[in-house]
Amino acid sequence: MGQLADILFTNVNLATMDPKSKIAYGIVENATLVVKNGLIGWAGPAADASAFEAQITHDCAGAWMTPGLIDCHTHLVFAGNRASEFEMRLKGASYEEIARAGGGIVSTVTSTRAASKDDLIRDARNRLAALKTEGVTTVEIKSGYGLDLENETKMLEAATALSGDDVRILRTFLGAHALPPEYKDDGNAYIDLVCNEMIPAIAKAQLMEAVDGFCENIAFSTDQIERVLVAAKAHGLPVKLHAEQLSDQGGSQLAARYGAISVDHLEFLSNDGVDAIAKSGTVAVLLPGAFYFLKETKLPPIQLLRDKNVPLALATDCNPGSSPITSPLLILNMACTLFGLTPEEALLGMTLNGAKALHMDDQIGSIEVGKRADLAIWAIDHPAELSYWMGSNPLSARIFNGKFAA
Ligand code: NIG
Ligand code: FE
């Protein structure tokens, strides 16, 4: 009798994204993969596989398998939409001008505060379904459209309700996203609220895995963000930062000093910023969807980041203002066409490096024995196709935690 397995995948080509592999994409052709107890039990060339006795044998007929995609930066929970601001921008108004005039993030805060938790769950579930359809198995969801304890809690509870037996959700508290109208002109008082009331209460309720902030002219200064990072660290929480999106504030250097797991956006990242995050081992999360949708022209310093071996992750940044995008495959394509990533770098950005940006790379992000069996099967002839097609979806199956998932 052969070794017992839960699922045996045969006749499959693997893009393992295993960092130990010397081959592009960690490719193993004509492979076998074994799932046992929700984990990858064995993976390698079919010729090397011993006999396995499985409850399910799935002949992949030469299809490709990758790690399940990871969307490590989203604002998936929100109410309403900002199509009218899209129209305003097309008539010449800038994202910054709209925000300063009381639109932007604050307009989504108004609709999110008015929505019930069930409304938020229902809308976000539709967006989550779109991500899953394209092979996503892990999604990070930020708060940041509530901006008071009650509504930030409601958002994080909605995010919690979205996690289930077919997708993994990680929650990030983004109280320092924008100044709520009731604190107009008193950013410091709002940051007091974030640090002294919101972070302690949300930590106590165990509703977050990390803390994020928006360091920008139209949001919070480095001094204000530093207080948020200190409060997060005091609660033992890892930090992330929206940094250098519209201007260079030095947010990345600040985040690096607090050992941030990621800094995100980075179009205006300076050489000093690159050096700082390279030293702190912080992941650079690139968001080409926001770059595209805001018609930005300044590119993140990709070559410098590569030269300094900073891990590059990619995400949809799904949100109603700067990136109303629920297609991770489109993001792979944009990362290549707009930012000049190779298709291999792009896929790494939505697998292993996405996992690193969530401190989850010991469990997910590559096909390696002992990691969670979060997998995607694609009807393609080569993994570069995942960055190449636009508007078609070659996903043929998604496996979450060792089980076929819809
Ligand atoms: O990641 N940069 C700040 N936050 C979001 C945008 C939020 C919004 O416009 O609603 C982002 O781009
Ligand atoms: Fe964002």
DSSP H helices, 244-384, are 251-257, 271-280, 288-293, 302-307, 328-337, 343-349, 352-356
Give the closest residue (by CA) to ligand 1 atom 12: 322
CA distance 92 to 149: 35
Ligand nearest to the CA of 145: 1
What residue ranges define each of the domains in the chain, with the CATH number in brackets? Answer: 3-68+366-405 (2.30.40.10), 69-356 (3.20.20.140)
The rounded distance, in Å, linking the Cα atoms of 88 and 83 is 9
Ligand 1 atom closest to the CA of 265, numbered from 1: 1
pLDDT digits (tens, 9 = 90+) for 324-345: 999 999 999 999 999 999 999 9
How confident is the model over 54-83, as a mean pLDDT? 97
pLDDT band with cut points at 50, 70 and 90 for residue 117: very high
Contact status, residue 81 vs residue 324, Cβ threshold 8 Å: yes
The secondary structure element, H or E, covering residue 300 is none
310 phi/psi in degrees, rounded to 5: -80, 125
DSSP 8-state symbol, 47: G
Spell out which residues line ligand 1, taking CB within 6 angstroms: 75, 104-105, 108, 214, 242, 245, 290, 317, 319-323
Say how many Å lie between the CA of residue 288 and the centre of ligand 1: 13
> Per-residue pLDDT tens for 275-303?
999 999 999 999 999 999 999 999 999 99
User: What pLDDT was estimated at residue 389?
Assistant: 98
Output b/e per residue, 83-93; b: 16+ Cβ within 10 A.
eebeebbeeee
Give pTM, 2 decimals.
0.98
